[in-house]
Amino acid sequence: MRLYLCGFLLLLLDDLSVCVSSSSSSSSSSSSSPSPDFVDCIRASEECNLSPQCSSRYRIMRQCLVGKDWNSMLANKECQAALEVLQETALVECRCKRGMKKELQCLQNYWSIHMGLSEGEDFYEASPYEPLPPVRLTDAVRLASIISSMNTGSGKAQSHCSDPSGTCNQCLDATKACNLNDNCKRQRSNYISTCTRSECNRKRCHKALRQFLERVQSQYSFGLLFCSCQDQGCAERRRQTIVPTCAYEDKQKPNCLQLRKTCRLDPFCRSRLADFHTHCQMSDDSISTCPNDDYQACLTAYTGLIGTDMTPNYEDANHTDFSISPWCSCRNSGNQEEECEKFLRDFRENTCLRNAIQAFGTDITKTTASTNPEAARSNPTANPNITKLEYDENGLKCSPVKGFICAEEEDSIGTEEKPEWSPSNWSIGLKLRTEAWMLSLLFAVGNAAL
């Protein structure tokens, strides 16, 4: 009876909040066209090349930037004039998409102009990537219902974490999920065999890893990377995900600022690092400490760094606490020790990243632990259009539009043990009062029923 009541409330909430979201903001829910429409930098430079005035300035600008620092460039009148003209064109506002065709070329175009706009020595650089569609509570709730129906509906996706007697190894479950999906299995097998060859070819290993992360749905890759662990064996498996002996570790640990310098010389690495800093930067404005409380954006930006010189990983197989770092240290920093420590802290002591990873892990436990046939059965029937749309391939298909919110909040009864993911935080993050109100009502009823 109680379950039925909650299931009903969930549906009610879903329907209402869909109405709210569709009326209040049309931009974020229809994520195929993110609010400010960015021109990609390849298009922008093509357009520039069509106009004789723009193309000549663009050429001058690029020449100006070769081998010169910012100040000496500005000292040159011609360079300054070129910059002023270019600031009026689409080139300044252009962005790139993650995993787009000719991504590298796009990023090169981006930096060829933005190198001149920033000081070049900034601690944080703006991300050249299009902002991700924000992940909203409504989407999360909707997907949760799909997931719960998948987990209880077909026995295939059942994890042994739902079995209270057995020990739960979430990372092993994530591997199983990947092995049962043909694409994930093939891509995983591909990067593992590349990275475990007798002679480690780091470049090729990194490339295979990037390919894996690009081509595999994030519900699988995130599951492997961010599973939460209760024992060391699990944590070691999590640490081993990217084959650290080849992709991560090296004979020597370089200085972090030196590594950053190397990374910034490569437009790809530089862009991914800027993206990480944009989406995982700690801020005091939000309770989650993530920009806009968007955990998904931070996790995406983090995975974007894997396969670059700045590849981050878990430092050890500690299951009670985890520490993440690129392969570098702050030894031999000289007078830049403070800056180096600051840089490293964004990985090691980043509460935003930490919360995002932990929230991802707890979501999985909740969804897989659900043995709630009543709610599972009632949800898909009530949202037939949604289930039809997103419930086709392999039982569950993560909607590509929304990114990867495939393992989301499911069982709203019993969230007390994880404070970061409590409803009050969500409401702040989403800044939608109606939804917050509805959700607290739901929780009140849920708790009362308990």
Partner 1 sequence: KRTKRAKKGTKPCSLTDKEMTVSQLGLGYVSDEVILFRYCSGKCVASRRNYDLALAKLKGQRLLTRENMDRARHSPCCRPTAYEEITFLDNRSQYHTIQEVSALKCACV
| Residue ranges that bind partner 1, judged by CB under 8 A | 156, 169, 172, 175-176, 179-180, 185, 188-189, 192-193, 195-196, 233, 236-237, 240, 243
Name the residue nearer to partner 1 (CB basis): 49 or 196. Answer: 196
CB of 62 to partner 1, least distance (A): 44
Q: Distance between CA atoms of 264 and 95, rounded to whole angstroms?
A: 18
CB of 209 to partner 1, least distance (A): 13
Name the residue nearer to partner 1 (CB basis): 189 or 440. Answer: 189
- Side-chain-side CA neighbours of 400 within 13 Å: the count stands at 8
Name the residue nearer to partner 1 (CB basis): 181 or 278. Answer: 181
Q: Distance between CA atoms of 301 and 9, rounded to whole angstroms?
A: 34
Name the residue nearer to partner 1 (CB basis): 242 or 273. Answer: 242
DSSP lists the bridge partners of residue 324 as 314
CB of 196 to partner 1, least distance (A): 5
CB of 137 to partner 1, least distance (A): 33
Look at residues 196, 207, 202 and name the one whose alpha carbon lies nearest to residue 248: 202
Name the residue nearer to partner 1 (CB basis): 225 or 356. Answer: 225
* Cβ pair 255, 341 in contact under 8 A: no
Would you list the DSSP string of 176-188? HHHHTSHHHHHHH
Look at residues 2, 68, 28 and name the one whose alpha carbon lies nearest to residue 292: 28
Q: Distance between CA atoms of 86 and 51, rounded to whole angstroms?
A: 12
Q: Distance between CA atoms of 152 and 164, rounded to whole angstroms?
A: 16
CB of 362 to partner 1, least distance (A): 23
Name the residue nearer to partner 1 (CB basis): 51 or 196. Answer: 196
Q: Distance between CA atoms of 372 and 387, rounded to whole angstroms?
A: 18
CB count, 10 Å around CB of 393?
Answer: 11
* Cβ pair 229, 235 in contact under 8 A: yes
Dihedrals φ, ψ of 326, to 5°? -75, 170
Report residue 161 as tokens: 């974490």
- Side-chain-side CA neighbours of 223 within 13 Å: the count stands at 29
CB of 313 to partner 1, least distance (A): 14
Look at residues 274, 360, 335, 359 and name the one whose alpha carbon lies nearest to residue 310: 274
Q: Distance between CA atoms of 362 and 295, rounded to whole angstroms?
A: 13
CB of 190 to partner 1, least distance (A): 8
CB of 239 to partner 1, least distance (A): 8
Name the residue nearer to partner 1 (CB basis): 236 or 341. Answer: 236
Is residue 113 classed as helix, strand or coil in its secondary structure? helix
Look at residues 287, 377, 400 and name the one whose alpha carbon lies nearest to residue 10: 377
CB of 318 to partner 1, least distance (A): 15
DSSP H or E stretch at residue 251: none
The CA–CA distances, whole Å, from 253 to 201, 249, 344 equal 18, 8, 13
CB of 189 to partner 1, least distance (A): 4
Name the residue nearer to partner 1 (CB basis): 175 or 221. Answer: 175
Name the residue nearer to partner 1 (CB basis): 41 or 184. Answer: 184
Q: Distance between CA atoms of 248 and 365, rounded to whole angstroms?
A: 28
Name the residue nearer to partner 1 (CB basis): 33 or 196. Answer: 196
